[in-house]
Amino acid sequence: MQTVTNQIREALANSSFIRKMFEKGIELRRQYGDDAVCDFSLGNPDVPPPAAAKAALERIAADAVKPLGLGYCPNAGIMSVREAMAAHLSRQQRTELSAKDVVMTVGAAGALVSFFRVVIEPGDEVITPAPYFVEYGAYCGHFGGVLRPVPSVPPAFRPDVAAIAAAVTPKTRAIIINSPNNPTGCIYPMEDLQALAGIAEDVNRARERPLFLLFDEPYRAFAYDGVEVPPALPLSRYACVLGSFSKTLSLAGERIGYFVANPEMPDQATLTAAVTLANRTLGFVNAPVVGQRLAAALVDETVDLAIYDRRRQLMARVLRDAGIEFEMPKGAFYFFAKSPVPDDTVFVDALLKERILVVPGSGFGFAGYVRLSCSVDEAIIARSADGFKRAVESLRG
């Protein structure tokens, strides 16, 4: 008896490497104890939220006991929250925005799924530089979209603009731009973003259904060494920005995100209204009200980014001492390191023997590398050093 569709059956068979490694970590910790396992598989932010979160939650709790304190809100979000977000994003994006331009969503993932619901027809294509966050394929695939990864250029993993331009077809509906990037940590320079914007402008001159630039920015605040993440909205009339507070405020479990489209986009109001409608009809209804109010109270704050920077520096030393090649990430909190052997899953298995968990690059559409998350304590990174060395030595003979 077949209880699920063939599409879902295939998805189950090819379930995310990230989750598989996460579950393997649970198994190893049960077997050997927490202190014996070094788990770099999951980007689960462990740095505490800003100190102001406690007082904000106390204020929210006081309001929660009032009538409708935790009741339904408008599908696009609480108006005062959208106003706070519009002010914040206006500064961040150097674009004048108002509350009507902002839709509060169930995380960045909810924003992506809602967007694809309203722009994708079966057979439409979505381009993304590879390596890429693996769920992109599922998000557009729910509505008949097809993900078209275009390999980036190692070791820096800047997008291959010429190859992306060549990959655009009449069916191409969006180009996803994830910078700072998961899994590489690359921050795309302005010249690359301008070139991608130029592709959209050229294509859209002859289009009835526009090609969108979809900027996925949950890691925007995570930039190191003085590198700037350029504002996205001014680059193109067809730019949309989405993000979340999962990483910047360590609110991953609260599932709060947002969507905004350039106000100069033709028919922008209809797109925003459609995303709001999808936010409701996909079953999200509205973003969680506690999370909305908490995000609004902390919208101009971040977690202590210096902690992540220290971890980045320590992880670089550990990998360098083990003889593992990598490009120093300028953003996010990941390393995308080169496997010492062509088959990245062989390297993953060698590390598992040392009770070190990483994710193979093939799980991000780019074999021959592994992703390591720095959302772990410095003690765990330091403890992994000898295991990395032993794993590399075992493969090099």
Structure tokens at 111: 């924003």
pLDDT in tens, 348-373: 999 999 999 999 999 999 999 999 99
Mean pLDDT confidence for 187-213: 97
Question: Residue 137 — φ and ψ, nearest 5°?
Answer: -60, -40
In a 3-state reduction of DSSP, which class is residue 359?
strand
pLDDT in tens, 83-132: 999 999 999 999 999 999 999 999 999 999 999 999 999 999 999 999 99
Nearest C-alpha neighbor of 193 from the set 113, 129, 130, 97 = 129
Question: Strand 334-338 relative to strand 257-261: parallel, antiparallel, unpaired?
Answer: unpaired
Judge whether residue 340 has pLDDT over 90: yes
Structure tokens at 222: 């995570």
Q: Does residue 370 contact residue 40 with C-beta atoms inside 8 Å?
A: no
Q: Does residue 364 contact residue 183 with C-beta atoms inside 8 Å?
A: yes
pLDDT computed for residue 9 by the predictor? 77
Alpha-carbon distance 231 to 201, whole Å? 17
Judge whether residue 374 has pLDDT over 70: yes
Mean pLDDT confidence for 304-312: 98
What value does the mean pLDDT of the chain take?
95
Alpha-carbon distance 285 to 277, whole Å? 9
pLDDT in tens, 64-85: 889 988 999 999 999 999 999 9
Judge whether residue 15 has pLDDT over 80: no
Alpha-carbon distance 141 to 150, whole Å? 17
Alpha-carbon distance 78 to 99, whole Å? 10
Alpha-carbon distance 9 to 38, whole Å? 32
Q: Going from the N-terminus, what domains does the chain have, and what CATH number goes with each?
A: 6-50+304-396 (3.90.1150.10), 52-297 (3.40.640.10)
| SS3 track for 141-187 | HCCCCEEEEEECECCCCECCHHHHHHHCCCCEEEEEECCCCCCCCCC
